[in-house]
Amino acid sequence: MTAQELKNSVLQLAVQGKLVPQCKDDEPASELLKRIRAEKKKLGIKEKPLPEIKEEEMPFDIPDSWEWVKLGKICKIATGKKDANFGDENGEYYFFTCAKKPIRCKSFSFEGESILIAGNGDINNITYYDGQFEAYQRTYIIQPYIEHSYLYYLLFHIKSNWVKYNVDKMFGSAIPYIRLGNVQNYMVALPPLAEQKRIVEKIEELMPLIEEYGKAEEQLSKLNAEFPDKLRKSILQQTVQGKLTERDPADEPASELLKRIKAEKEALIKSGKIKKEKPLPAISNDEKPFDIPDTWEWVRLGSIADMSLGKMLDKSKNKGELQPYLRNVNVRWGEFDFSDILEMRFLDEEKERYSVQYGDLVVCEGGEPGRCAVWAKHDTSFRIQKALHRVRFYYGIDSFFAYRIFQIYASNGYFAHRFSGETIKHLPGVVLANIAFPLPPLSEQKRIVKRVEELLALCDELK
């Protein structure tokens, strides 16, 4: 049960005579009604008679010493006369509107113990106030005929049933409102005065406990909401540090993988498929954001992947074949959005250079720099625009493992410290090539990717 449900339950028990015991020595509510009638007669109040409450209208049973009565018979009911412009922040009096919090004004029309109900908008805005005040023209003011007697009990009674009572009684479409008749005809289960006092005391005793329960509930809800995301981050952090899976002695260490990558690059350079590049600087200890296992290696991303930017717009000058291409808005974390695809012209000799193929990591250069997804379509390639980097790994390095590295670097600020630009952030190719990348053995990369997928699926179930 939520705190709000518990609060509602307490209030409902209170107005049904089930919260505190009845006392046979209490003067019955019928005597209170006699005194209210005498006070109205003394004040010379003549009212339009309200319909009597029929037995079938009574929503629940009440004790014998209680009485069903309409609110208009036991309270003065009025509406404010001022519009919203009457407010003045320098005023000394409260000005009650239909908003949750009152504003200020410089004069008053009402005083004394009152219940104020919003007549439109949030009709659950119900307030008790005792003093001098002003009211908005759509605000209802309820005051007792006998001061400081039964109004505080009525406050809890109205709070427990008011919204439910008005469900099918509101008017208007754009801004629903309630009429005076709704307020006058509201049915009150009225206890003896002495029992009202006991009920109010018990409610005031219980409400702080319910508030504490509500705070605990809120903290628990927040923890439950945050836990899956925190767990995801923890899983990813364990991933990139090699703590998610066991080492396998049969795995060839990453140092051997680097030798194979070097040989593959030399062969590609010899065949003219890639150009020889300047060696990237060694990674200093200060650049390593965390520790990794002994079988792993810290490497520059540019040393283990061929990287290139997509095509600049209009570079073909209306030559070539019109083809669809990806922009950074089409790249989401871990997936591609094809709902808004544009086209531009590509020359035949440009198609391979500016295309992505299965296993390529597509990384945003701008927008949200570093956001990326793996192109996982075996039988389809796609062109890319200059706002995207294409990262194509050598020797079977797992792009899905690299994707998880990028997720961590985006969340822990590693990328943010390397962006260029003030207003619009960018991740230049030279910066991307120089990021420090933790490289596990090939077999371990596969095990890690599989384990991560299993654990993150569980996190999604927790949500």
pLDDT for the residue numbered 35 = 93
Structure tokens at 320: 């070539």
CA terminus-to-terminus distance, the chain:
20
Q: Is residue 234 part of a domain?
A: no
Question: Do 38 and 144 fall into the same domain?
Answer: yes
Last residue of a domain, one of 169, 198, 214: 214
Distance of CA 139 to the CA centre of its chain: 32
Position 151 scores a pLDDT of 92
In our burial notation (b when 16+ CB lie closer than 10 A, e otherwise), range 236-255 reads bbbbbbbebbebeeebebbe
> Same structural domain for residues 204 and 274?
no
- Report whether 391 contacts 433 (CB < 8 A): no
Q: 10-residue block means of pLDDT along the chain (463 residues)? A: 88 93 94 93 87 90 95 94 92 93 95 93 89 95 89 92 80 73 93 94 93 84 76 84 88 93 90 85 91 94 93 75 91 93 88 91 91 90 91 94 92 84 84 94 93 84 70
Q: Which tokens in the block code for residue 10? A: 């307490």
Q: Is residue 437 part of a domain?
A: yes
Q: Which helix (H) or strand (E) holds 389?
A: strand 388-393
156 & 271 share domain: no
CA distance 409 to 391: 16
Residue 236 belongs to a domain: no
**Distance from chain centroid for Cα 116:** 32
Place of tokens 């061929």: 306
Sheet with 103-105, strands from edge to edge, namely: 75-79, 139-144, 110-118, 126-135, 93-96, 103-105
Residue 269 placed within a domain: yes
Same-domain pairing of 197 and 272: no
Residues 193 and 269 in one domain: no
Q: Does residue 229 belong to any structural domain of this protein?
A: no
Residues 34 and 159 in one domain: yes
Longest CA span, the chain: 111
The answer to whether position 220 is within a domain reads no
Phi, psi of 182 (to 5 degrees): -60, -40
Q: What pLDDT score was predicted for residue 321? A: 86
Residue 174: the pLDDT is: 60
| Phi, psi torsion values for 426, nearest 5 degrees | -135, 155
Beta carbons of 19 and 9 less than 8 angstroms apart:
no
* Alpha carbon distance 79, 142 (integer Å): 9
Same domain membership, residue 170 and residue 275: no
**Tell me, what amino acid is at 158?**
I
Are 194 and 274 in a shared domain?
no
Tally of structural domains, the chain? 2
Q: Which amino acid is at 323?
A: Q
Q: Give which of 356, 306, 302 is closest to 331, Cα–Cα.
A: 356
Closest C-alpha to 126, from 103, 95, 160: 160
Tell whether 114 is covered by a domain.
Answer: yes
Model pLDDT for residues 238-256, shown as the tens digit of each residue: 888 888 888 899 999 999 9
Reported as a single tens digit per residue, the pLDDT across 314-367 is: 666 678 888 899 999 999 999 999 999 998 888 888 888 899 999 999 999 988
**Closest by CA position to 98, among listed 112, 111, 113, 83:** 83
Q: Beta strand pairing status for 436-439 and 321-326? A: unpaired
Burial of 441 (0-12, 13-18, 19+ CB in 10 A): buried
Sign of the four-CA dihedral 425, 431, 432, 438: negative
Helix (H/G/I), strand (E/B), else coil: 343: strand
If asked whether residues 24 and 136 sit together in one domain, one would say: yes
Report d(CA 184, CA 182) in Å as an integer. Answer: 6
| Residue 223 domain-assigned (yes or no) | no
The CATH number covering residue 46 comes to 3.90.220.20
Please give the residue range of the domain that contains residue 295: 241-462
Does pTM top 0.75 for this prediction?
no
| Proportion of the chain in helix, strand, coil states, percent, rounded to 5 | 40, 20, 40
Question: How high is the pLDDT of residue 215?
Answer: 86
Q: Which of 192, 197, 125, 212 is nearest to 162 (CA)?
A: 125
Domain boundary among 195, 214, 233: 214
pLDDT at 459: 78
Same-domain status, 147 and 247: no
DSSP letter assigned to residue 353: T
239 touches 292 (CB < 8 A) = no
Instruction: Output the CA torsion sign for 417, 422, 424, 426.
Output: negative
Say if strands 342-346 and 321-326 run parallel, antiparallel, or are unpaired.
Answer: antiparallel
Q: Which residue from 42, 52, 50, 114 is spatially nearest to 78, judged by alpha carbons?
A: 114
Q: Are 210 and 245 in a shared domain? A: no
Same domain, 153 and 95: yes
